[in-house]
Amino acid sequence: MTDLIDDATIDEPEHDVAGAHPLFRDAPKSVAFAKLRKRLVRQTRAALDDFGMVRPGDRWLVCLSGGKDSYAMLAMLLDLKWRGLLPVDLLACNLDQAQPGFPADVLPRFFESVGVPYRIERQDTYSVVVSKVPAGRTYCALCSRLRRGHLYRVAREEGCQAVVLGHHREDILETFFLNLFHGGKLATMPPKLVNEEGDLFVLRPLAYAAEDDIGRFSALMQFPIIPCDLCGSQEGLQRNQIKAMLADWEQKSPGRKDIMLKALGNANPSHLVDRSLFDFAGLALRP
């Protein structure tokens, strides 16, 4: 991964956030927070540049669930845009899925407090998911599919060219191992893709960011986190097992997650066994 923002790019002193987007007006003034923020901004900018996500003048639908990841993503994008480093229009969007007890006032109040344009789209996908998924099965696949369809529709209605999601490094690694162990394929969440209809980009600008860093940042910023009670209440999910496995590896060998992420960008088809990617039958000896 490319380190495209050096310390000089974020030009205020370590302890000062003067000149930053209003979202940061109550941010901690500590050196530790400034370094954390700088690292996340640097990683976000690197992902944007490495995968060619930015087309000047585009409009992005920035999707917020109310979780730590999407809040952090919005903060990074607003920070970059405030500095003139992200020449796109941003529209925050929350899909209210009608989960019982969902605090529908939290996100509108947050968006208005920091001056972010937004749209709230209420669609009762909750009832659909709980009625269709058998007892004991996980909700995530159907929930994600329904949510994605509505977000694509909203993006088109709002004249957006991209749907922006808050998936991070761990999400990408976990998806890779889920596909490896349970799907029989080498695939993961790409930082950038085009949807099946071919009319929208799907972007993941936190692709290089560590979940622990995102968690610390969101906690220090005191974002009003809304837990997902739909899937969060289910124990024993395959993804949780993968998450625990990766955490154990990282504890025993610090830096392993970054190495694995780097490996996903360093594929060698001739040293795998996919005949559609490499012509093994056509290999010939030199005369």
Average pLDDT across each block of 10 residues of the chain; the chain has 287 residues. List them in order: 41 46 92 96 98 98 95 97 96 87 91 96 78 65 78 96 97 95 94 96 98 97 83 60 95 96 96 95 94
**Separation of alpha carbons 81 and 39, rounded Å:** 16
Q: Tell me the per-residue pLDDT of 239-280, one tens digit each, with 9 for 90 and over.
A: 889 999 999 999 999 999 999 999 999 999 999 999 999 999
Q: What is the pLDDT of residue 235?
A: 41
Q: Are 60 and 162 in contact (CB under 8 A)?
A: yes
Give the pTM.
Answer: 0.87
**Separation of alpha carbons 130 and 146, rounded Å:** 12
Q: Are 87 and 57 in contact (CB under 8 A)?
A: yes
**Separation of alpha carbons 25 and 19, rounded Å:** 9
Q: Which CATH superfamily groups domain 27-266?
A: HUPs (3.40.50.620)
Q: How far is residue 30 from each of residues 26, 41, 59, measured CA to CA in Å?
A: 12, 17, 34
Spans of all domains in the chain? 27-266
- How many other CB atoms are there within 10 angstroms of residue 21's CB atom? 20
Question: Mean pLDDT for the chain?
Answer: 88
Q: Which of 258, 211, 201, 247 is nearest to 67 (CA)?
A: 211
